[in-house]
Amino acid sequence: MRKLIVAAFISLDGVMQAPGGPQEDTSGGFTYGGWIVPYAEEVFGQAMQALFSQPFELLLGRRTYDIFAGYWPKVEGSSEDFSIANLFNSVPKHVATHTPATLDWHNSHALGVDITAAVRALKQQDGANLLTQGSSVLVQQLLAAGLVDELQLLIHPLLLGHGKRLFGDDAAAAAFTLQHSQVSPKGVVIARYVRAGEVQTGSF
């Protein structure tokens, strides 16, 4: 059985929309695309390298898939992004869509109509862990279904006010344990949380 890991860049108010560039996702009138760029530095890069150092398969929402498919296959060998591009281009990519004919990026597979059932079945298989990138709508579905085993968050010191968020109102209650954390020189909190059973309550 493999784990489902949600990796996300988020703001202090939980927004995860369009972290990488102004035109990445402007839906809903979002104007702050590229908000992680001023915080990129060595520790930030090392955290990303560590994330991709273990075998994984990508689990993507349809919009994120389209963004990735339009970028990563075109990265050239001289680019500093080439090592990640090579990984993303080669690994299996499981996509929240029921139209497989529209998936033309190498090694892409449609999850079908019942996304949560398909992901649950994938988790029962042997193989590399499932890793999400972006995919806010899909991630909220996975959290609501209680399918997320690990959260790897890069929490940026800013408020965005609006935009697509990591957590919706219907996330299933669950406890998590902080396994690792560090803070970049520019104030990005890099945190790894692992699921730790049910929420415990008490009184003072």
25 vs 31: CA distance, rounded Å = 9
Q: Is 74 a member of any domain?
A: yes
The one-letter amino acid code at 89 reads: N
What percentage of the chain carries pLDDT values higher than 90? 85
pLDDT band at 90 (very low <50, low <70, confident <90, very high): very high
Q: Is 41 a member of any domain?
A: yes
What is the mean predicted confidence (pLDDT) over 138-144? 97
Pairing of strands 189-195, 176-183: antiparallel
Place of tokens 């945190």: 191
Q: Is 151 a member of any domain?
A: yes
pLDDT band at 69 (very low <50, low <70, confident <90, very high): very high
Burial of 61 (0-12, 13-18, 19+ CB in 10 A): buried
Residue-averaged pLDDT of the chain: 94
Residue 86 Cα distances to 110, 133, 181, angstroms: 21, 16, 28
CATH number where 166 lies: 3.40.430.10
Token digits of residue 146: 């209680």
Token digits of residue 19: 């972290």
Structure confidence by residue, pLDDT tens digits, 13-60: 999 999 999 999 999 999 999 999 999 988 878 888 888 999 999 999
Residue 82 is inside which H or E element, if any? helix 82-90
Is the pLDDT confidence value at 164 over 90? yes
Is the pLDDT confidence value at 194 over 90? yes
Is the pLDDT confidence value at 81 over 90? no
Token digits of residue 107: 């090694």
Q: Is 8 a member of any domain?
A: yes
Question: What domain range includes position 61?
Answer: 4-171
Is the pLDDT confidence value at 78 over 90? no
Residue 132 Cα distances to 7, 8, 60, 135, 142, angstroms: 6, 8, 6, 7, 10
Structure confidence by residue, pLDDT tens digits, 96-136: 998 888 899 999 999 999 999 999 999 999 999 999 999 99
Q: Is 11 a member of any domain?
A: yes
Q: Is 58 a member of any domain?
A: yes
pLDDT band at 64 (very low <50, low <70, confident <90, very high): very high
Is the pLDDT confidence value at 79 over 90? no
- Identify the residue with better confidence: 83 or 179: 179
* Number of domains, the chain: 1
Q: Could you tell me where the DSSP H helices lie in 10-70?
A: 42-51, 62-69
- By mean pLDDT, which of 3-12, 72-81, 89-98, 165-174 is the weakest? 72-81
What is the mean predicted confidence (pLDDT) over 162-177? 95
Q: Is 191 a member of any domain?
A: no
Q: What does the DSSP 8-state code read for residue 15?
A: B
- The pLDDT, as a whole number, for residue 48 is 84
Q: Is 98 a member of any domain?
A: yes
Specify the pTM: 0.94
- The pLDDT, as a whole number, for residue 100 is 86
- The pLDDT, as a whole number, for residue 77 is 80
36 vs 19: CA distance, rounded Å = 5
Contact, 19 vs 135, CB < 8 A?
Answer: no
Cα dihedral sign for 138, 141, 147, 148? Answer: positive
94 vs 186: CA distance, rounded Å = 34
